[in-house]
Structure 1
Amino acid sequence: MTSPPGGGENGSAGEPRRFVCARCGTSVDVPAEGPPLTWTYSVESGIRQYYCESCSRENLRSIEGRLDSDWW
């Protein structure tokens, strides 16, 4: 699926987008497309959930444990 330039899920180009950690509530405004490089995300019940660097590191084993063996 593609989005037109400057539109789509991340809003218009150059506009900061706020990401909020689904676990601890930490938020960050990012001027680039997508979440910060150190954040992770998962799709749960069809909804994309973002997790900050701290929560991702603290729960890495649980995150990896949910992946199909094809991913590792």
Structure 2
Amino acid sequence: MTRDGTDRDGESAERPALVCARCGTLAEGRPPTWTCSVENGARRYFCDACSRENLRSIEGRLDSAWW
């Protein structure tokens, strides 16, 4: 898939919908306020409400090089 959302043949390639891994909220498009986490090699997405509620826990897992 290219940056404009089309595959190599120029046809529109639909991306799978994002679902919050914590509360199950379904995202419309690619919301910039959501958080992406890689856990055990898999990407997990969290809505802005769940990210806000769990900010301390999320930041607590970062290596000191990130802060």
Q: So what's the TM-score if we normalise by structure 1?
A: 0.73
1:21 aligns with 2:20: yes
- Cα offset for 1:16? 5.7
1:52 aligns with 2:52: no
Runs of 4+ residues deviating >2 angstroms: none
Unaligned runs of at least 5 residues, structure 2: none
Greater Rg over alpha carbons, structure: 2
CA distance in 2, matches of 1:29, 1:20: 10
Unaligned runs of at least 5 residues, structure 1: none
Q: What RMSD in Å do the two structures reach over aligned CA positions? A: 1.8
- Cα offset for 1:63? 0.3
Task: Please tell me the residue identity of whatever aligns with 1:24.
Answer: C
> Helix, strand or coil for the counterpart of 2:33?
coil
Q: So what's the TM-score if we normalise by structure 2?
A: 0.78
The aligned residue for residue 31 of structure 2 is 36
> Contact 1:16 / 1:29 at 8 angstroms: preserved in 2?
no
